[in-house]
Amino acid sequence: MVHLFPPGARLLLANGYLATVPLGFQMVVVPLYLARAGLDPAFIGLLFTVSGLVTSALVAVSGMLADRFGRSRFLIAGTALPIPSYLILALTTDPAWLVVAAALGGVGLANGAAGALTVASFDALLAERTAESRRTRVFASAQALWNLALATGAAFAGVPLLLAPAGATPLGAYRPAFLVAVVIATLATLLVLPVRDLHGRDRERPVHLLPRSSVRPIATYSLAIGLLGFGLGVAVQLMPLWLNLRFGSTEADLAPWYSLSQFISIASVAVVPWLDRAFGAHRSVLGMQLMSGTMLALIVIAPVFTVATSLFVVRSLLTNLSWPFQQSLLMGAVEPRERASAAGIGFAVWGLANAVGPAVAGVLLATGVLALPVLAGAVAYAGAGVVFGVGFGRIRRVPSADAPASLPG
């Protein structure tokens, strides 16, 4: 385990775990919580769209500015930003305030402005603390901790209703849980305060605001990650609501399955290095995303809840296994001083595509059309796999000049 987590990366990995736990809880709870508050599925989908649009609008600029002015500052600010969002969810279901919460972060995996500030900086900070020979393994460890955090949060999705005093409304039962999320986000912020940039020497800073040396890998990554973002938005983010409409499932029904899907994905720590040796990164992504799309398509014809959620668990495992490869492919193909910019641009495209998906899905669900959003997601996942497999199979990796993994902080 010590070998998997270089000393310079441990605070980052711990921060990523704590900051993600509330998201695991809310990816199950928020769609159903808001539906119980009387909000229309189309408006619920709009909230996820707002989150994705804010992310896509800010993340590319955030990455480029982080390369120039300090990645750790952006990571600290982004970790703290969901705190007011969780407070809004705890205190009100007023639609206007919910839009503000979605914009700040804490609603949807895009995570609004918070996601924009953290995503590019986190990957770049982790990459510069890890030797190239161990980068895919460390990104796999980061992915496993992310899955563990989502599993931890999802496992508690049904607990507030079970522990609520007699006569308490579902809305009142869940509000204390959002206050717990405030505490967790605060701890995550404090944990990352000691992190400092290693990428601060003038000779390593980018000469231009826009990256110019890594156009091809950035364009390839952006197209592929955009397809994944749309697939996630249109088929996955409102899946709790989809399963509720199709099978009548509740948070208590969904929590074990969502938690299981993330716990199983922790296997990426062991499986990813083997896949890397056996097939290579780009071929592994191709195979797993094609299979992910197949699992989504099969959910549409699943006859019962158990079959549908089992297919969802397999899809989650395959998708989560692919993320370390995708991150490592990008970090290895771009110039080191353009890494945050590259990740930011890619995530901007992901956020924009992700924002479109829930709006489309929400309208279709509100009108009773259940099959189309899931099938659209299946096609998007398969297309992303093809772009990753073919595109990065033709792009050479940039020799690494990173600091050794033993550097502190």
Domain ranges (residues) in the chain:
7-394
pLDDT in tens, the chain (409 residues): 445 566 667 888 889 999 999 988 888 888 888 888 888 888 988 888 888 888 888 877 887 788 777 888 899 999 999 999 999 998 988 999 999 999 998 787 778 889 888 877 887 888 777 777 677 778 778 878 888 898 888 888 877 777 766 666 767 888 888 999 999 999 999 988 888 777 544 445 544 555 656 788 888 999 999 999 999 989 998 899 899 999 999 888 888 898 888 888 787 778 888 888 899 888 999 999 999 999 999 999 999 999 999 999 999 989 988 888 888 888 888 887 777 778 778 878 887 888 888 888 888 888 888 999 999 999 999 999 999 999 888 776 655 544 433 333 3
* Contacting residues for 190 by C-beta, under 8 A, at least 6 apart: none
Whose tokens are 């619920």? That residue is 44
Q: Which residues of 119-148 are buried (b: 16+ CB within 10 A; e: fewer)?
A: bbbbbbbbbbbbebebbbbbbbbbbbbbbb
96 is written with which tokens? Answer: 């206007």
- Among residues 170, 47, 191, which one has the least CA distance to residue 110? 47
What pLDDT does 401 receive?
47
The fourth-level CATH superfamily of domain 7-394 is MFS general substrate transporter like domains (1.20.1250.20)
Measure the CA–CA gap between 190 and 171, rounded to whole angstroms: 30
What pLDDT does 156 receive?
85
Measure the CA–CA gap between 79 and 312, rounded to whole angstroms: 29
Q: Which residues of 324-348 are buried (b: 16+ CB within 10 A; e: fewer)?
A: bbbbbbbbbbbbbbbbbbbbbbbbb
- Among residues 321, 202, 305, which one has the least CA distance to residue 249? 305
Quickly count: other Cβ atoms within 10 Å of residue 255's Cβ. 22
Contacts 24+ apart (CB under 8 A), 388-391: 388/220, 388/224, 388/282, 388/285, 388/286, 388/289, 388/322, 388/326, 388/329, 389/282, 389/283, 389/285, 389/286, 389/287, 390/282, 390/286, 391/220, 391/221, 391/223, 391/224, 391/282
Q: Which residues of 210-221 are buried (b: 16+ CB within 10 A; e: fewer)?
A: ebebbeebbebb
- Per residue, what are the HEC states of 116-177? HHHHHHHHHHHHHCCCHHHHHHHHHHHHHHHHHHHHHHHHCCCHHHHHCCCCCCHHHHHHHH
Distances (CA, A) of 22 to 55, 148, 149: 18, 12, 8
What pLDDT does 408 receive?
31
pTM recorded for the entire structure: 0.71
What pLDDT does 212 receive?
59
